[in-house]
Amino acid sequence: MNSVKRNIAALLLLTLVPCLVAASAADLRKLYGPIVKKVSGKYSIDPELVHVVIRAESNYEVFAISSAGAMGLMQLMPATALRYGVKNVFDPAQNIEGGVRYLKDLVKLYDGIVKKVSGKYSIDPELVHVVIRAESNYEVFAISSAGAMGLMQLMPATALRYGVKNVFDPAQNIEGGVRYLKDLVKLYDGKTKLVLAAYNAGQEAVRKYKGIPPYPETKSYIAGIMRNYKKPTVTTLNPTYMVKDADGKTILVNDPEAVRKK
């Protein structure tokens, strides 16, 4: 009789485990949500971006340690933790604060290049930032298993096509990525999801499936970006140029000749 009871209990437990596992990620997001909200507000960073990073880096595992030695929710390397004063990388509040400060510095570091290149090619700089976040999380030396490299994860053929000689040079990588985005925007009439699908899976895959390919990675990629970039279409902006005005200040204009004639 005891054996029967044990078997029944085991079966019930097996039935419940998937539910518990499925609920854990959502529960952990709720658990750390207030910390993310507080720290994101403190440093003016999109809280959804922080959640995206945590999901990708540790899936909300507070004691996660990578083979490279990155630790905690936002997978801080020891040098990064030290730089941002994180004494206990396994303390959620400290880890998230360190990670958010690091993210903010990364965004600031490349924002000038993004604005300049986006203006040059009339592409929404916000789109460029969300693509960089999804592709490399601002890791300038990122290399994917497929061989994509740098901030905007350019494949060797794409880098060659757009004249990118050094994929690990932020300015060159961003310019190549923005030019590629511009061509995709033209090709797909600005339909954001198709642009992103082609950027992730390639134009041939979009052509083959006459739309978004049914690849789990591509679907997840698009969904992740659209949580932050809620624009169904990408509208090309009027071209902008960086010039100096009469007082020597650098300004953005649509017609540089008009400024020079003043």
Taking phi over 0 as left and psi of -120 to 50 as alpha, with beta for the rest, 23 belongs to alpha
Q: Is 57 a catalytic residue?
A: no
> Which of 215, 228, 62, 40 is CA-nearest to residue 132?
228
Q: What is the dihedral of CA 46, 47, 48, 53, to 10 degrees?
A: 100
- Relative to beta strand 241-244, strand 250-253 is antiparallel
- The catalytic position among 57, 97, 135, 175 is 135
Residues 6+ apart with CB under 8 A from 47: 36, 37, 40, 41
What is the token pair recorded at 234?
A: 């990408």
Rounded Cα distance between 29 and 248, Å, is 49
DSSP codes of every residue in 85-99: T-S-TTSHHHHHHHH
User: What residues act catalytically?
Assistant: 135
